[in-house]
Amino acid sequence: MVTGAGAGVGKGIAMEAARQGAKVIVNDLGVNIDGSGANKGPAHQAVDEIRALGGTAAANTDSVADWKSAQSIIAQALDLYGRIDGVVNNAGNLRDAIFHKMSEDDFDAVIQVHLKGSFNMSRAASPHFKSEQSGSFVHMTSTSGLIGNFGQANYCAAKMGIVGLSKAIALDMERFNVRSNCIAPFAFTRMVNTIPADTPEGLERMKVNQRLETAKIAPFTCALLTDGAKDVTGQIFGVRNNEIYLFSQPRPIRTAHSGTGWTVQSCLEVAIPMMKPSFHTLDRSTDVFSWDPV
């Protein structure tokens, strides 16, 4: 099951999964970047391309953001193929705005698709994974959440939330041999193409982004779905053209202790100065990944 698979990264994953012999459900609403509108064409077109290559696939145009729809998406896989072995939570939308100008609707719409959608799909599949004593989830996070980005509070929150969701799934379902991992994909997609390029820096960044191939995300994603990765769970990866990353996860890096406890003043005079050498700067994703993709 691959959500948001009518185009871009999701389509590449669905096609690679089919090439590897998987029977695929291609889910896509066919909406605009902001989630408006609906078009059944992209999902069906992706299925046609998979079948033309000799693969097995079926289209689904239900919304992952709706609990009942997510249940029916998984039900389709069971009805057609008899079981469900892997879920890739890739569906997404964007409604960028500077934080102090972001509307409640813009925040909710992005959380609903990315974070709630990942929960809905994972929750719908989990009883079947449990009964089969196997299964793999791959959730798409982003360096916008892991590191930070400008004008994307809704998207950053959703993508960091997905990291927490994935880890919780990995912990709760380990006893059933069910795995859950995240990938932060770097690829030139419709969503990336919405980034403003009206400055010299923006134009240069867009040139770099255009070299990020969507198809490059598929092999590692499909690898995580296989039995060969049965011991890989609770991890956060990144894929950027020919580079694969393992991301760190938050752990204590510096400690301040006072045997008599802390006061406001001692926190200001002692604790914060002790911590300050290890403070993170206000990086954006592009500050950290500053080299050209290879």
pLDDT tens string 83-129? 999 999 999 999 999 999 999 999 999 999 999 999 999 999 999 99
CB atoms within 10 A of CB 216: 20
**pLDDT at residue number 31:** 74
**């360096």: which residue's tokens?**
143
Question: Are the CB atoms for 182 and 163 separated by under 8 Å?
Answer: yes
What's the gap between Cα 78 and its chain centre? 24
Q: What is the mean pLDDT of residues 223-227?
A: 98
Task: Give per-residue pLDDT as tens, 175-186.
Answer: 999 999 999 999
Q: Is 245 a catalytic residue?
A: no
Q: Give 67's strand partners.
A: none
Pick the CATH number of 2-249 from 3.30.70.660, 3.50.30.10, 2.60.40.10, 3.40.50.720: 3.40.50.720
**pLDDT at residue number 202:** 55
Confidence of residue 189 (pLDDT cuts 50, 70, 90): low
**pLDDT at residue number 200:** 61
- Take residue 97 and report the two structure tokens written for it: 């705005």
Q: What is the mean pLDDT of the chain?
A: 93
Helices (H), the chain: 8-19, 41-52, 67-81, 104-111, 117-132, 143-146, 153-173, 200-209, 218-225, 264-266, 272-275, 285-288
Task: Give per-residue pLDDT as tens, 1-19.
Answer: 999 999 999 999 999 999 9
Q: What is the mean pLDDT of residues 147-151?
A: 96
Instruction: List, in sequence order, every beta strand (DSSP E) within 35-173.
Output: 56-60, 86-89, 135-140
Q: Which residue has the higher pLDDT, 207 or 138?
A: 138
Specify the 3-state DSSP secondary structure of 22: coil
| Torsion, Cα of 75, 126, 132, 88 (10° steps) | 80
Q: What is the mean pLDDT of residues 237-260?
A: 96
Is 37's pLDDT higher than 80?
no
- From the candidates 155, 186, 237, 289, give the one annotated as an active-site residue: 155
Q: List the single range of 26-40, 146-160, 208-222 with lowest mean pLDDT.
A: 26-40
Burial class (CB in 10 A: 0-12, 13-18, 19+), 195: middle
Model-wide pTM > 0.85: yes
Residue 11 host element (H or E): helix 8-19
Task: Give per-residue pLDDT as tens, 196-211.
Answer: 555 666 556 555 556 6
**pLDDT at residue number 194:** 56
Work out the angle between the directed axes of helices 41-52 and 8-19 (0-180°, nearest 10): 30
Q: What is the mean pLDDT of residues 122-149?
A: 98
Count CA within 13 A, CB hemisphere, residue 155.
23
- Ramachandran region, residue 178 (left: φ > 0; alpha: ψ -120 to 50; beta: rest): beta
**pLDDT at residue number 212:** 83
Question: Are the CB atoms for 246 and 232 separated by under 8 Å?
Answer: no
**pLDDT at residue number 210:** 61
